[in-house]
């Protein structure tokens, strides 16, 4: 008799875990050329240099920054926000440093040289 509540609870945790994964991790992929910094999968790359990538992304905003889900995904993937200057946010992960600039429908990722 006690197996049913335990199984129901386990199934509930499984569903919550799957939901969490699809909300947090699946909308983003890691940009290997930028130390695995997460990038929205539906962002369209419009320009790339050796030290930066610029994407067109409808959810980017200069006034509001990036959506909360994207901030959470960045944090969950090990990146720590260490500073902010308006629309420019500085992130670190170990010795890696990335700057993320969110402007109206544009998302720019810049690699920062470690000194």
What pLDDT is stored for residue 8 in this prediction?
76
What pLDDT is stored for residue 78 in this prediction?
95
Domain boundaries, the chain: 3-111
Where the chain has pLDDT below 70, the residues are 1, 16-26, 115
What pLDDT is stored for residue 109 in this prediction?
96
What pLDDT is stored for residue 17 in this prediction?
66
DSSP string, the chain: -THHHHHHHHHHHHHHHHHHHHHHTTTEEEEGGGTTEEEETTPEEEEE-SSEEEEE-TT-BTTTBS-HHHHHHHHHTT-EEEEEETTEEEEEETTEEEEEEEETTEEEEEE----
């Amino acid at each position: 008799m006690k197996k049913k509540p335990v199984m129901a609870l386990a199934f509930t945790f499984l569903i919550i875990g799957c939901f969490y994964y699809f909300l947090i991790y699946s909308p983003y992929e890691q940009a290997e050329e930028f130390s695995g910094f997460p990038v929205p999968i539906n962002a369209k790359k419009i320009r790339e240099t050796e030290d930066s990538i610029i994407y067109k992304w409808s959810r980017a905003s200069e006034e509001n920054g990036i959506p909360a889900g994207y901030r959470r995904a960045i944090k969950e993937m090990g990146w720590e926000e260490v500073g902010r200057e308006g629309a420019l946010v500085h992130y670190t992960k170990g010795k890696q440093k990335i700057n993320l600039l969110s402007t109206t429908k544009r998302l720019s990722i810049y690699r920062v040289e470690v000194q």
